[in-house]
Amino acid sequence: MKRSIGLLAMFVTTVAFAQSPSPAGAWKTIDDATGKEKAIVRITESGGVLTGKIEKLLDATKQDSKCDECTDSRKGQPIIGLTILRNVKKAESHWEGGDILDAANGKVYRVRMTLSSDNKSMEVRGYVGTPMFGRSQKWMRAE
């Protein structure tokens, strides 16, 4: 009997974890200052860690842009294909623990991401120190 209950508990836990929404996929970024759509970011998950790369810029005049303001290994790299989201892991009801690059100014911030209940939008908050000191963008699922 104990074995059956243990197996049932493992099954329920596995099913619940497998069905939890994930930020993996393509996202349309929305500029928090202008409200304009800026880019498509592709988030992938490997071993429970999220990474995000800019897949497409939505402003045709910026297709050849490089991250001239970056101060790390991304300096001078093309914006398209640039990794802007690194080392993000699942927390309770959000994802955090990694960082996000603002390619416009080259600054790197800690990040917290929270999916909407319908899994179609996400609040992405870049901050210094604690989430209270930062700014948020709304990203929309692109697929």
Asked if the structure places residue 54 within a domain, the reply is yes
pLDDT by 10s per residue, the chain, length 143: 555 554 444 444 444 444 578 999 999 999 888 999 999 999 999 999 999 999 999 999 999 999 999 999 999 999 999 999 999 999 989 999 999 999 989 999 999 999 999 999 999 999 998 888 899 999 999 97
Asked if the structure places residue 75 within a domain, the reply is yes
CATH classification at residue 86: 2.40.128.520
Asked if the structure places residue 62 within a domain, the reply is yes
Asked if the structure places residue 116 within a domain, the reply is yes
Overall pTM surpassing 0.75 (yes/no): yes
Q: What is the pLDDT, as a whole number, of residue 131?
A: 82
Asked if the structure places residue 15 within a domain, the reply is no
Q: Which helix (H) or strand (E) holds 118?
A: none
Domains in the chain, number: 1
Domain containing residue 133: 22-141
Alpha helical stretches, state H, 76-137: none
Asked if the structure places residue 11 within a domain, the reply is no
Residue recorded with tokens 């300096």: 75
Asked if the structure places residue 84 within a domain, the reply is yes
Q: What is the pLDDT, as a whole number, of residue 30?
A: 93
Distance CA 66, CA 82 (A): 9
Asked if the structure places residue 95 within a domain, the reply is yes
